[in-house]
Amino acid sequence: MAKKKEPEKKKKINTDGVMGLVGSTTEQAITETLESNYMPYAMSVIVSRAIPEIDGFKPSHRKLLYTMYKMGLLTGGRTKSANIVGQTMRLNPHGDAAIYETMVRLAKGNETLLHPFVDSKGNFGKVYSRDMAYAASRYTEAKLDPICAELFRDIDSDTVDMVDNYDATMKEPSLLPTSFPNVLVSANQGIAVGMASNICSFNLKEVCDTAIALMNNPDHDILETLPGPDFSTGAELLFDEATTREIYTTGRGSFKLRAKWRYVKEGNLIEITEIPYSTATEVIMDKVAELIKAGKIKEISDMRDETDLGGLKLTIDLKRGVEPEKLMQKLFRLTPLQDSFPCNFNILIAGMPRVMGVGEILEEWTAWRTDCIKRRIYFQVQKKEERLHLLKGLERILLDIDKAIRIIRETELESEVVPNLMIGFGIDEIQANFVAEIKLRNINKEYILKQTRAITELEKEIADLRATLNSSRKLKNVIISELKKVSEKYGKPRKTEIVYETAQIEPEEEEEPIPDYPVTVFVSKEGYLKKITAQSLRMSGEQKFKEGDSLAFSRETTNRAELLVFTDKFQCYKSRLSDFDDGKASQLGDYLPQKLGFEQGENLLYVVLPGEYKGFLLFFFENGKAARVPLSAYETKTNRRKLTGAFSDKSPLRSLITLETDEQVAVYSTDGRTAVFSTALLAPKTTRNTQGVAVLSLKKKAALSHAVLLKDSGIVNESRYRCKTIPAAGALLKAEDSPEKQITFEV
């Protein structure tokens, strides 16, 4: 009887892609799969691909730049990008496309970085364009930018560890010994597994100044020297102090950026010349087209991209009668012309990812750079000691050159020359080899004296290096010196302009034009404001005030003028005079604390009419310090009513002076002393709540009482109180120089 034929087993594809039979697969717990397969991959992406390290580079950047350095492209001419890509593949096991994309991002032509590392020639695309593709590597050329000299400085002096490449055929640096905090200067973005990194770029000079300031004073206020990020695409940074401080402390948060624009009256058009770093021209154009199609924007007749070799330019043709300012506020609100840059300062420190604030990053960089300097100095000491050792052996021969010649001449075997010299002069093998290799023409007294003369100098150099190696102060000074040189040589002005505007642009209803006409403003000590027209003022009699109240401030201005009100809660309230009704001299007026919505217990200190926000405000504090802040720091383009942190909260405010040009100012202390100096000695500060600088050297229990312009002080003997430098102790005030009673707000 014939055997029954067994049915053929069906084939199937296993999950690993291998052809097999049904029943030949093995079961595996998902947790085991994750541990054995996925976790190593995740760690590899985090540590070896996506997250930058303390030198500011990812492995792909480092491998490319080091390859170019070894190719001699730091000092030589450009070579084809394809050649560089091919050479880089010896270190980077990825495809040529990935390597070339890395080069494009680092190139000057792409404009991604504030300080590009690749000096490029050809089309490398643009960071602000989504569709402007870069040319193939065979068409472009590149070399290293001069700033790369700071990346590779002393790399051959054992400053960093050299490790095997992927196939162990050559060595590559684990980090680049950057002589400046490149981790904050170069923008960097990476998405790993379960985490990401997004580091904005800061101005090189400001970063170097901040690093130096923190090394000299760990309690330094970073915002004083690093007011905000600086992007290669420029635009405007909408400064918000609270947000900035949070990012500087935690390493997380987002900066708001806004495009730069100008109105061209001749063609009734708007030209946008700089856009936020986080967007692209095509994205903006698409969004505007979408809004026009939806009927949400009716003021635009045409919009086109006129970007050329001169740089970025988006042109908007306006319809007749459109106000450019209002349209731009609308576009900022509805399009990526105003955008956010999210920050996540995630950096690998000793192989472990850490999210850090700016201060912590600079602290880590300083510690790492100190280690690099120590390794360099130790390497130099070793080299000099080796040289010194050889020269001391040579010095021994000076005692008897003839004996050395006789030993060499009378030795029968070549292999015995070195041992015989060692015995004859009491030197070791290294020294004997050095002596034996000297040419016959150099075995003379003059040559040997010339060589050994360097022994004293070498010993002094070694002693100096060892002293530096053992002194933390000297090591710190070496780093500071290098940072200053980098800052002077490669520092550039800021590209991103800081605008002191932090509020969101709120939707505004169409408003009727505000009428403008002359008015006179009166403010009483208790905070009552009267706005009186010129006609009403001519017809009115004596000004009426509440019982016990009196006039503190009056000024002629216009109905459209803005008003700044400073309070003892370190806040500034903004308002327009048009928000107040026209009054009469016989009325008490509007009560400012109620009208502006003061907080409980908040009192008015000073009132300022800023005009066109040109000039400065001088703040004088009880602790003897003064701060000079530009009025532009208080200008906002939205209807923001309150600015917090309007001035420093470290000491009570005693006087506030509005300044258009530099003048002489008189400062008084509670112990009867007065000092007169020029306001030119006070450098402007970028932040509103700066603590300022000391102007009075106060004695114990003394304090700054008030300050006035010299012309308003009543001082007769000016030379008695004049000071050329600050802080100054001043001189005791004479009776004839006593000022008239100054009008201030009583708190």
DSSP string, 414-440: GGGHHHHHHHHHT--HHHHHHHHTS-G
Residue 233 has pLDDT above 70, yes or no: yes
Residue 14 has pLDDT above 90, yes or no: no
Tokens of 104: 């494009």
- pLDDT, tens digit, 9 for 90 and up, residues 363-417: 999 999 999 999 999 999 999 999 999 888 888 877 777 888 888 888 888 888 8
CB-CB contact of 474 with 468 (8 Å) = yes
- pLDDT, tens digit, 9 for 90 and up, residues 237-288: 999 989 999 999 999 999 999 999 999 988 899 999 999 999 999 999 999 9
- Backbone dihedral angles phi then psi of residue 705, each to the nearest 5 degrees: -95, -45
CB-CB contact of 459 with 391 (8 Å) = no
* Least trusted range by pLDDT, from 119-128, 174-183, 292-301: 292-301
Q: How far is 173 from 126, CA to CA, in rounded Å? A: 30
> 417-425 vs 429-436: helix axis angle to the nearest 10?
110
Q: Count helices and strands (H / E) in the chain.
A: 21, 35
Q: State the average pLDDT over residues 560-584.
A: 87
Q: How far is 141 from 78, CA to CA, in rounded Å? A: 6
Q: Can 139 be counted among the known catalytic residues?
A: yes
Q: Tokens 């000074």 label which residue?
A: 477
Q: Which residue has the higher pLDDT, 296 or 1?
A: 296
* Residue 637 pLDDT grade (very low, low, confident, very high; cuts 50, 70, 90): low
Return the DSSP state at 166.
Answer: T
Q: How far is 692 from 742, CA to CA, in rounded Å? A: 23
Name the helix (H) or strand (E) containing 562: strand 562-567
- pLDDT, tens digit, 9 for 90 and up, residues 98-140: 999 999 999 999 999 999 999 999 999 999 998 889 999 999 9
Q: How far is 421 from 404, CA to CA, in rounded Å? A: 7
- pLDDT, tens digit, 9 for 90 and up, residues 201-225: 999 999 999 999 999 999 999 999 9
- pLDDT, tens digit, 9 for 90 and up, residues 362-371: 999 999 999 9
Residue 173 has pLDDT above 80, yes or no: yes
Q: Which residue has the higher pLDDT, 92 or 486?
A: 486
- pLDDT, tens digit, 9 for 90 and up, residues 473-506: 999 999 999 999 999 999 999 999 999 854 444 4
State the alpha helices, DSSP H only, in 530-661.
Answer: 534-539, 592-595
- pLDDT, tens digit, 9 for 90 and up, residues 422-460: 888 888 888 888 888 887 777 777 877 777 788 888 999
Q: Are strands 11-13 and 19-21 parallel, antiparallel or unpaired?
A: antiparallel
Question: Is residue 307 packed enough to be buried (19+ CB in 10 Å), middle (13-18) or exposed (0-12)?
Answer: middle
Which domains, from first to last, does the chain contain? 57-177 (3.90.199.10), 260-336 (3.30.1360.40), 512-595 (no CATH), 612-747 (2.120.10.90)
Q: Which residue has the higher pLDDT, 354 or 42?
A: 354
Residue 10 has pLDDT above 60, yes or no: no
* Residue 148 pLDDT grade (very low, low, confident, very high; cuts 50, 70, 90): very high
One-letter amino acid at 625 equals K
Q: State the average pLDDT over residues 8-27.
A: 49
CA angle centred on 537, ends 639 and 606, rounded to 5°: 45
Residue 83 has pLDDT above 70, yes or no: yes
Quick check: helix, strand or coil at residue 609?
Answer: coil
Q: What b/e sequence results for 464-493 when a residue is b if at least 16 CB atoms lie within 10 Å of its CB, and e otherwise?
A: ebeebbeeeeebbebbbebbeebbeebbee
Asked, as a colleague might, if the bond just before 727 is cis with ω within 30 of 0, I would say yes
Q: How far is 215 from 472, CA to CA, in rounded Å? A: 11
Residue 514 has pLDDT above 80, yes or no: no
Q: How far is 531 from 544, CA to CA, in rounded Å? A: 13
pLDDT the model gives residue 115: 96
Name the helix (H) or strand (E) containing 248: helix 241-250
pLDDT the model gives residue 740: 54
* Least trusted range by pLDDT, from 2-6, 436-440, 451-455, 559-563: 2-6
Pick the most confident of 19-33, 489-503, 619-633: 619-633
Evaluate the CA torsion angle 417, 423, 425, 428 in order and state its sign: positive
Q: State the average pLDDT over residues 518-544.
A: 84
Q: Are strands 642-643 and 625-630 parallel, antiparallel or unpaired?
A: unpaired
Residue 86 has pLDDT above 50, yes or no: yes
CA atoms within 13 A on the CB side of 447: 11
**Per annotation, catalytic residue among 38, 66, 100, 139:** 139
Q: Which residue has the higher pLDDT, 688 or 514?
A: 688
- pLDDT, tens digit, 9 for 90 and up, residues 325-356: 999 999 999 999 999 999 999 999 988 999 99
* Residue 13 pLDDT grade (very low, low, confident, very high; cuts 50, 70, 90): very low
**How far is CA 74 from its chain centroid?**
26
Total residue length of the chain: 747
* Residue 744 pLDDT grade (very low, low, confident, very high; cuts 50, 70, 90): very low
Instruction: Using a pLDDT cut of 70, give the percent of the chain over it.
Output: 93
Residue 361 has pLDDT above 80, yes or no: yes
Q: How far is 469 from 484, CA to CA, in rounded Å? A: 21
- pLDDT, tens digit, 9 for 90 and up, residues 671-699: 888 999 998 888 888 788 888 889 998 88
Q: State the average pLDDT over residues 157-185.
A: 94
Q: Are strands 352-355 and 346-349 parallel, antiparallel or unpaired?
A: antiparallel
Mean pLDDT of the chain: 87
